Amino acid sequence: MWTSHFAPAFFLKPFSAETPLSLLALAGTLPDILWLALSLGGYEEIRYRPHHGCFPYDAKYPYTHSLLGMGVIGLVFGLFVTLTRGLGLKSFFAINAATISHWVLDVIVHRHDITLTPDPVSARYGFGIFDHPKILFVIDFGLLLSSLIYYSATAMPDNRRLQTKKLLTLGALFAGMQVVFSFVEIPGRQARLVHAPLFLLQLLGAVGMLDAIERRGDDVLGRVEKGVRRAVEGTRVEKAHDRKDRNTEKYWELNEIPREI
């Protein structure tokens, strides 16, 4: 899975309103973030090896992608966040649920490499949907989209236009991420030194985007809409004046735009 690891954050937010959406998203993607970071240090592994379908890698991640490992990650991260931020039990359980969900989602799509414990002889699970990129895209982005719709209906402000703008912005962001993951192969074979950092930056960037939209999204999206509306209306006014052979000086003054001489 890829973008669907953000879905638990949107599903869980209405049940834990005090928990920042970005923290829930970070909890859901934390196993991948830690795996990629540990791979850079050689403690876990990402190795380029073409497969049928997408995700041309072999991975070894006994600590970050075993069920036991994710349980420990969720516990430690949940305790750290709730204690340092003064959040309640709902936040603690929501963060743990987001982290544990990573294991369940990975079992659905991975190639028989998800374990219960870090033990090398632990049983391995995975239904291999990575070998079917189109099916992966439908499942992955479908889960994400359903979570966005649910979040929009339950946790966003009661403003339909604002909900639609946020939904479209987030949908476009994650759709692009999923298209790249499912259908685009990163050039080169340097999985550890090139591909891993790119994946890591993508995840951290998406978490940062969610934080920005949650904190300042109303203002940012509102300014974008206002700017677009003024540009469109200004163009219409200028054309109308020009067609009637009228002076446009008043239009420029009203819109505080210096007219070129």
Q: How many domains does the chain have?
A: 1
Task: Give the domain extent around 59.
Answer: 3-216
Q: What element of type H or E holds 45?
A: strand 45-48
Please compute the mean of the pLDDT values over residues 204-211 and round it to a whole number: 91
Domain membership of residue 109 (yes or no) is yes
Tens-digit pLDDT profile for residues 28-54: 999 999 999 999 999 999 999 988 889
Tens-digit pLDDT profile for residues 154-186: 876 655 555 677 788 888 889 999 999 999 988
Please compute the mean of the pLDDT values over residues 96-119 and round it to a whole number: 95
Domain membership of residue 230 (yes or no) is no
| 187, burial (CB in 10 Å: exposed 0-12, middle 13-18, buried 19+) | exposed
Residue type, position 155, single letter: A
> Residue 109: what pLDDT?
95
Domain membership of residue 127 (yes or no) is yes
Task: Provide DSSP, 140-176.
Answer: HHHHHHHHHHHHHHHTS-S-HHHHHHHHHHHHHHHHH
Tens-digit pLDDT profile for residues 222-246: 554 555 456 556 545 444 544 555 4
Please compute the mean of the pLDDT values over residues 58-83 and round it to a whole number: 96
Domain membership of residue 174 (yes or no) is yes
Q: Measured between alpha carbons, how far is 3 from 7 in angstroms, rounded to an integer?
A: 7
pLDDT exceeds 50 at position 251: no
